Amino acid sequence: MLRSPDLVGKSQDSLREAFGKSLILLAEDYPSLVVLDADVAGGTGVHHFRKNFPDRFIQCGIAEQNMISVAAGMAETGLIPIVTTFAVFLLRAYEQVRLSVAYSQMNVKLVGSHCGLDVGPDGGSAQCLEDIAAFRAIPNMSVIVPASPIEINQATRFIIEHKGPIYMRSGRSPLEECLDNSYKFEFGKGKYLSRGSDLTIISCGVCTGRSIQVVKDLKELDINVELINMSTIKPIDQKIIIESAKRTSKVVTVEDHSIIGGLGSAVAEVLSEYHPTPLKRIGVKDTFGESGEPDELACKYGIDQVSIKNTIINWLKNETKG
């Protein structure tokens, strides 16, 4: 049953599904690993773990605040708890994350599914557009936003091996694999996916696949883009941001998250302090989402491939005029 090829995250898997499959493979290597769920195992991908490791699957019921502090207590006894629920429900227990986990430096891993407009039909209440901002603000917390099944497979191993509190975003919609098999996730490092001298795009999560397509579109217009997949938002890779900004002098960030507090803000903090550079943040503009299919929502709110491309072209025109 274990290590069957079906249980490896692959193209067309959602990030939550790839994450759930990765856990099965890792559970054998890490006997201290336990998974906590708040009655949404089918929605977060951990139903695979529940089926294969029922004794290490802790059902907490629909009670997220207790779940987070329980996870911290379990970590105190040497276990490695992975806490899973929808990202918005982790926000419900934000203060428990702050005190029981981060302030206490407990080795608890939070994995939020249902992030961004990618959630789709469940609507604005479930589409978490503030999680990166919220968890990034807490001391001792690291924040990871993988871009594809290949990356989340590797990041899942990392969060288990790493000692300390981490928040990782997964995702709901099926994703085309956008990274090569040779791709290596490195904590705290951005990765160049293309090189160019006209413009830097920094993206994360589901927006990286879209940005790869945008790079191709812009290439046809003779705009050579340097694309960085920034899968660790905290600690942010200052070096690669500054290095690329020096080369291109123009930076665009793209994320399925509010433009307040997320990747765009993290990049802005680095650039404004160390290498002031014109910056365009593409993301959800301080508003909630609504019901609809993920691709329809991305289009309406300006974070699909076409909108990203058009926003960049218009911005470049204005920048050139300036």
Partner 1 sequence: MTKSVKSNVNYIRSLIVSSIYHAGSGHPGGCLSCVDIVDYLYRYHMSYSFLDCDNVSRDRFIMSKGHCVPTIYAVFCDMEYISLSELKTLRKINSRLQGHSHRVAFPQVEVSTGSLAQGFSFAIGESLGLKLQGYSNNVYAMIGDGELQEGQIWEGAMFAAHHNLGNLCTIVDYNKMQSDDLNENIIKLEPLQNKWESFGWNVFNIDGHNPNQIREVFSAAMSKENQKPSVVIAHTIKGKGVSYMESIPSWHGSVKLTEEDCRKALKDLECTDNEIEVLMSA
Binding stretches for partner 1 (CB under 8 A): 34, 55-56, 58, 60-61, 63, 65-66, 68-79, 81, 95-96, 99-100, 103-105
Q: How far is the CB of 101 from partner 1 (least distance, A)?
A: 10
Pick from 157, 162, 182: which is nearest to 19 by CA?
Answer: 157
> How is residue 279 written in tokens?
């910056």
How far apart, in Å, are the Cα atoms of 34 and each of 50, 109, 117, 220? 10, 10, 29, 49
Q: How far is the CB of 47 from partner 1 (least distance, A)?
A: 20
Set 17, 28, 64, 290: catalytic member? 64
Q: How far is the CB of 194 from partner 1 (least distance, A)?
A: 43
Cα 50 to its chain centre, rounded Å, is 23
Contact (CB, 8 A) for 302 and 258: no
Residue 321, C-beta contacts closer than 8 angstroms, at least 6 positions apart? none
Q: How far is the CB of 110 from partner 1 (least distance, A)?
A: 14
**Running DSSP on this structure, what letter comes out for residue 70?**
H
> How is residue 274 written in tokens?
């160390």
Which is closer to partner 1, CB of 135 or CB of 301? Answer: 135
Which is closer to partner 1, CB of 102 or CB of 308? Answer: 102
Which is closer to partner 1, CB of 108 or CB of 199? Answer: 108
176 catalytic, yes or no?
A: no
Reported for 49-54, long-range contacts at CB under 8 A and 24+ positions apart, including other chains, are 49/20, 49/23, 49/24, 52/1, 52/2, 52/24, 52/27, 53/24, 53/27
Pick from 146, 213, 219, 215: which is nearest to 183 by CA?
Answer: 146
How far apart, in Å, are the Cα atoms of 22 and each of 3, 17, 156? 10, 9, 7
Q: How far is the CB of 72 from partner 1 (least distance, A)?
A: 5
Catalytic residues: 64
